[in-house]
């Protein structure tokens, strides 16, 4: 069974759906995968593929890059699976691999033109209550087309440094708690909060006209 | 360094704006074969990794791979030697007029190098006389051409200059 995605969580909070140190099902799957059972690893991949892909996608704003990096993250995780001691959850561990891999990729890509792909915007966005509210009730935003809104949003997120972008994506978009993000990034929760505050300030300044 | 988080409503609008990103999804069906692609890549990488260093070294030391540059050099050398021999041996024989040309005065370095300079083209009149006279021999027994058709007096009478006849050139050019 696939775990509930952060995307499905209520919008009013970045939930902490607590992620236990290691889910029992995960523990069993990891143990079997460490013994070379590829079907167990296949289950692990299916379990976390959407969250890993989604995080990478928001960091890169490019579907092809996200697809390649997500696959690469799972391949690397398989190679390093024997060294996984279970100190953290598999979920945290695979996130850490994916985020580090993506940050390295972004640093290499920094000089390239970033490609913002908005073609994958889900049609359901237009029916989202928050979206409807944003574009209808708040007068200044009424005229902003959905695509333009996403474009502005993506462009603003891409302007953040990799570290700040990662924190915003993991917390405000993926819904991970500060402690979980701190484990993924191997820093303390205070640093996560600090980065989040700074990143939000920057985003707010860049997107102020959309939020008045 | 650590700063307290801001009041929750300070960034409320921004946070709600960011939640819109959750609606961005990959193309439909993207995840249906995602794990298969991952496992395929794992299989490829495992195969590459399991090849021992000795196997890779043996592959690298394959005779064909080792001697490829030497073979290419030998082939090039053979081509050059063959072309040189051809020029040296067949060059003079293919130009029967060489002996005539070499005896003519010319640049000293050209003669020393053994190269021949083609003789200057003879005047058209001379060409006709020299080349046609010995080669065109009307056979009285097989042709009905009059015997005196190719005689010089007749040619001269046509053009007024020795051995020039455009018609002859067209009809009997070798």
Query: Per residue in A44-76, is it b (16+ CB within 10 Å) or e — as a string?
Result: bbebbbbbbbbbbbbbbbbbebbbebbbbbbbb
How far does the CA of residue A125 sit from the closest CA of chain B (Å)?
A: 6
How high is the mean pLDDT of chain A?
79
CB-nearest partner of A71 from B2, B17, B38? B38
Sort out which chain B residues have CB atoms less than 8 A from A97's CB and list them: none
- Quote the distance between the C-alpha of residue A72 and its chain's center: 16
Q: What's the pLDDT at B43?
A: 92
Residue A204 pLDDT more than 80? yes
Residue B168 pLDDT more than 50? no
Q: Return the number of other C-beta atoms located less than 10 Å from residue A206's C-beta.
A: 17
Q: What's the pLDDT at A59?
A: 92
Q: What's the pLDDT at B122?
A: 57
Residue B55's SS3 state is helix
Q: What do you get for the CA distance between the two ends of chain A, in Å?
A: 42
Q: What's the pLDDT at A193?
A: 95
Q: What's the pLDDT at A11?
A: 36
Q: What's the pLDDT at B144?
A: 62
Residue owning tokens 């390649």: A68
**pLDDT (tens digit per residue) in B68-116:** 777 888 888 999 999 988 888 876 554 455 444 444 445 555 555 555 5
Give the pLDDT mean for A142-154: 74
Q: What's the pLDDT at B16?
A: 85
Fold match between domain A20-112 and domain A126-212: no
Determine, for residues A150 and B31 on separate chains, whether the beta-carbon distance falls below 8 Å.
no
Q: What's the pLDDT at A171?
A: 93
CA distances from A64 to A67, B19, B26, B58 (A): 5, 22, 10, 38
Sort out which chain B residues have CB atoms less than 8 A from A66's CB and list them: 26
Contact B26, A67 (CB under 8 A): yes
Alpha-carbon Rg for chain A, nearest whole angstrom, is 18
Q: What's the pLDDT at B113?
A: 53
Residue A93 pLDDT more than 70? yes
Q: Which residue of B has its CA nearest to A53?
A: B26
Contact B122, B130 (CB under 8 A): yes
Residue A97 pLDDT more than 60? yes
According to DSSP, residue B89 is labeled H
CA distances from B34 to A2, A101, A147, B5 (A): 14, 18, 28, 38
Q: What's the pLDDT at A142?
A: 52
Give the pLDDT mean for B126-154: 53
Q: Name the packing angle between helices A38-60 and B34-50 (round to 10°).
A: 110
**pLDDT (tens digit per residue) in B39-78:** 999 999 888 877 766 677 777 777 666 677 778 888 889 9
pLDDT band at residue A209, thresholds of 50, 70 and 90? confident
Q: What's the pLDDT at A40?
A: 94
Determine, for residues B23 and A75 on separate chains, whether the beta-carbon distance falls below 8 Å.
no
DSSP states of A53-108: HHHHHHHH--HHHHHHHHHHHHHHHHHTGGG--SSS-HHHHHHHHHHHHHHHHHHH
pLDDT band at residue A165, thresholds of 50, 70 and 90? very high
How far does the CA of residue A104 sit from the closest CA of chain B (Å)?
A: 20
Q: What's the pLDDT at B142?
A: 54
Residue A68 pLDDT more than 90? yes
Q: Name the packing angle between helices A90-109 and A178-185 (round to 10°).
A: 60
Tell me which residues of chain B, numbers 31 to 60, contact chain A at a CB-CB cutoff of 8 Å. Answer: 31, 34-35, 37-39, 41-42, 45
Determine, for residues B34 and A63 on separate chains, whether the beta-carbon distance falls below 8 Å.
no
pLDDT band at residue A197, thresholds of 50, 70 and 90? very high
Q: Give the dihedral sign, CA A54/A58/A64/A69.
A: negative
Q: Please check whether the domain covering A20-112 is classified as CATH 3.40.50.150.
A: no
Which CATH number does A126-212 carry? Answer: 1.10.10.10
How far does the CA of residue A126 sit from the closest CA of chain B (Å)?
A: 10
User: How many Cα atoms sit within 13 Å of A188 on the Cβ side?
Assistant: 4
- H or E stretch including A127? none
Residue B126 pLDDT more than 50? yes
How far does the CA of residue B48 sit from the closest CA of chain A (Å)?
A: 13
pLDDT band at residue B21, thresholds of 50, 70 and 90? confident
**pLDDT (tens digit per residue) in A1-60:** 333 333 333 333 333 444 445 677 888 999 999 999 999 999 999 999 999 999 999 999
Q: What's the pLDDT at B58?
A: 75
Query: Domain residues of chain A, as ranges?
Result: 20-112, 126-212
Residue owning tokens 């060294």: A83
Q: Name the packing angle between helices A24-34 and A90-109 (round to 10°).
A: 70
How high is the mean pLDDT of chain B?
66
- Residue scoring higher pLDDT (B52 or A91): A91
Contact A121, B23 (CB under 8 A): yes
CA distances from A18 to A21, A175, B8, B119, B132 (A): 9, 11, 20, 101, 110
Q: What's the pLDDT at A13?
A: 36
CB-nearest partner of A42 from B27, B35, B45? B35
d(CA A136, CA A143): 9
From A124, A204, A209, A117, select the one nearest A168 (Cα to Cα). Answer: A204
d(CA A118, CA A62): 9
d(CA B124, CA A166): 91
Determine, for residues A131 and B17 on separate chains, whether the beta-carbon distance falls below 8 Å.
no
């Amino acid at each position: 069974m696939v775990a509930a995605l952060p995307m499905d969580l209520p919008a009013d909070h970045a939930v902490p759906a607590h992620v236990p140190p290691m889910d029992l099902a995960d523990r069993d799957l990891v143990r079997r995968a460490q013994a070379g059972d590829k079907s167990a690893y296949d289950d692990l991949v299916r379990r976390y593929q959407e969250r890993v892909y989604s995080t990478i996608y928001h960091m890169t704003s490019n579907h092809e890059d996200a697809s390649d990096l997500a696959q690469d993250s799972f391949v690397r995780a398989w190679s390093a699976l024997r060294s996984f001691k279970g100190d953290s959850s598999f979920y945290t561990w695979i996130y850490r691999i994916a985020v580090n891999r993506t940050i390295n990729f972004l640093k290499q890509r920094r000089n390239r033109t970033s490609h913002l792909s908005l073609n994958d915007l889900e049609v359901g966005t237009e029916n989202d209550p928050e979206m409807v509210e944003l574009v209808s009730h708040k007068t200044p935003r009424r005229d902003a087309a959905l695509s333009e809104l996403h474009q502005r949003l993506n462009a603003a997120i891409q302007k953040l440094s990799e570290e700040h972008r990662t924190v915003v994506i993991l917390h405000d978009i993926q819904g991970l708690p500060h402690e979980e993000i701190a484990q993924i990034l191997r820093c303390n929760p205070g640093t996560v909060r600090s980065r989040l505050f700074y990143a939000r300030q920057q985003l707010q300044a860049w997107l102020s006209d959309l939020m008045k | 360094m650590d700063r307290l988080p801001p009041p929750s409503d300070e960034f409320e609008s921004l946070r709600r704006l960011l939640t819109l990103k959750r609606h961005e999804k990959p193309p439909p069906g993207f995840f249906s074969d995602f794990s298969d692609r991952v496992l395929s890549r794992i299989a490829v990488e495992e195969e590459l990794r399991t090849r021992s260093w000795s196997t890779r070294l043996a592959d690298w030391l394959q005779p064909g791979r080792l001697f490829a540059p030497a073979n290419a050099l030998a082939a090039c050398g053979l081509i050059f030697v063959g072309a040189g021999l051809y020029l040296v041996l067949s060059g003079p024989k293919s130009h029967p007029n060489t002996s005539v040309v070499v005896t003519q005065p010319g640049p000293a370095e050209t003669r020393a190098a053994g190269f021949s300079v083609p003789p200057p083209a003879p005047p058209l009149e001379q060409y006709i006389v020299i080349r046609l006279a010995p080669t065109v021999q009307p056979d009285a027994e097989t042709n009905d051409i009059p015997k005196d058709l190719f005689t010089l007096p007749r040619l001269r009478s046509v053009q007024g200059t020795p051995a020039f006849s455009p018609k002859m050139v067209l009809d009997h050019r070798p």
